Amino acid sequence: MASDKSTPPLTAQSLNPKVLKCEYAVRGEIVSLAQNLQQDLQANPGSHPFEEILYCNIGNPQSLGQQPITFFREVLALCDHPAILDKSKTHGLFSADSIARARQILDQIPGRATGAYSHSQGVKGLRDTIAAGIAARDGFPADPNDIFLTDGASPALLIVFMFQYQVHMMMQLLIRSENDGIFCPIPQYPLYSASIALHGGTLVPYYLDEGTGWGLEISELKKQLEAARQKGITVRALVVINPGNPTGQVLAEENQREIVEFCKKEGLVLLADEVYQENIYVPEKQFHSFKKVSRSMGYGDRDLPLVSFQSVSKGYYGECGKRGGYMEVTGFSPEIREQIYKLASVNLCSNISGQILASLVMSPPKVGDESYESYFAEKDGILQSLARRAKTLEDGLNKLEGVTCNKAEGAMYLFPRIRLPNKAIKEAESLKKAPDAYYAARLLNATGIVLVPGSGFGQVPGTWHFRCTILPQEEKIPAVVSRLTEFHQKFMDEFRD
């Protein structure tokens, strides 16, 4: 019998429903609109009331003009083209320590070639370097066999989400059904909700307290855990983002100790998103890894299942396109470790350039190295500029009618609350849009500023927010503030009750 060729072989209705459920607001509808506007500006200059699109939606520093760290790029260049290491002119173009580091790294890579596959966990010598860097940071030993080098933090997260953490099981999915839950902060980075949706699990929310600067309250965790269990949901893990995304808070060490104790008592795996650990902007706060905190409490390698994520995309380096990162996996049985390794092996290995960068981030130039002064100046300059940008945006937002914005203690974002007039909310609802998404779309069309609606991150019902990065070049921040201020006043006047 002939097939019906009029029926398409694939339709939206026939796709995996988990894929349809998955959303990622950071590159969602507003960004698509912005890209269309940018194309229109290029094709028809002067066709809009602004000359350029100001992307404040995503943590992508180099796309907005941040320059890469010279030492890192010198080492990468030499590793990618080792033939120039043997030429005398190289010594006039590259620092002596970058040449030495490149030689050291190449000796560790199979075939001395960045185009080769490596061990599935990553090049052993690079993992040695990262482990040494972790030990120096935390003051506690780190085992290179606990390090899995990945193409950024996102793939590492996907690996971890696939596993059930029980000694007696060789391999069982952590998320087996919608009855398996993952604790996530609200607001949260949409990668978490997207990953949980793709695996068919349930996101169990715990709400950060905006009134206390986006504090993480243990009483809230207890309340939400009990509510989930009453619904028949088995909560397997707790995600903590520190410094916060999108909220920008930095956890106090005492609060971290409470979180560790909570996970230990309730039998939860602690998933520590620590990719912004270099981005701290206030003198009264500093970063402490959850591994350091748990070790200082006396918990050893087998006492608490803990996975820590780091990425070369953030920090002062901002190497998003290189797709480098690692996860440190501690507190798991050999059987579970074997399954995590097996899954890593499916992808063969992460890219070598990203692996090299991850090692450089954890072992930058030291005092006495030829590159140290220039490296430190570049690092310090970027972080100080980010701190100034954060303060300027924070002050500007807090001057807007109906807007309150907590201090940006760390990370790359502000997440202000906006109290919209009832008329604006009703207008958005009539268009079947979330009110903050409606506001963001109107802002984009009027000013060219790209923000992400808070509804894409989750928020307390009945409240509205947006996420704004601090990454536009410092000289453009005043323009962001002035455009936003002018638009906001007109918007509020238009919909005033």
| Strand, coil or helix: 236 | strand
Q: What is the pLDDT of residue 112?
A: 82
Q: The whole model's pTM is what?
A: 0.88
Say how far apart CA 54 and CA 50 lie, in whole Å. 10
Q: What is the mean pLDDT of the chain?
A: 86
Determine phi and psi for 456, rounding to 5 degrees: -80, -15
Q: What is the pLDDT of residue 13?
A: 57
**Per residue in 349-371, pLDDT tens?**
788 889 999 999 999 999 999 99
CA distances from 407 to 217, 247, 272 (A): 18, 9, 22
Query: Could you check whether the bond before residue 305 is cis, i.e. omega within 30 degrees of 0?
Result: no
Number of residues that make up the chain = 497
Query: Domain residue spans in the chain?
Result: 14-65+376-494, 117-362
And the tokens for 304? 């608490």
Question: C-alpha 454: how far from its chain's center?
Answer: 16
Say how far apart CA 130 and CA 101 lie, in whole Å. 14
And the tokens for 153? 């933090």
Task: Give mean pLDDT, residues 447-462.
Answer: 91
| Strand, coil or helix: 482 | helix
**Per residue in 294-325, pLDDT tens?**
999 999 888 899 989 898 988 999 888 888 88
Bridging pattern class, strands 202-207 and 180-186: parallel
CA distances from 346 to 281, 306, 343 (A): 39, 23, 5
- C-beta separation of 323 from 354 below 8 A: yes
| 224 against 2, higher pLDDT | 224
What is the percent of the chain with per-residue pLDDT over 90, rounded to a whole number? 58
Q: What is the pLDDT of residue 124?
A: 94
Considering only the C-alpha atoms of the chain, give the largest distance between any 2 of them, rounded to a whole number of Å: 79
Say how far apart CA 37 and CA 53 lie, in whole Å. 8
What is the CATH number assigned to the segment(s) 117-362?
A: 3.40.640.10
**Per residue in 76-126, pLDDT tens?**
999 998 888 876 666 678 999 999 999 999 999 888 877 777 777 888 999
Say how far apart CA 182 and CA 233 lie, in whole Å. 10
Q: Which fold has domain 14-65+376-494?
A: Aspartate Aminotransferase, domain 1 (3.90.1150)
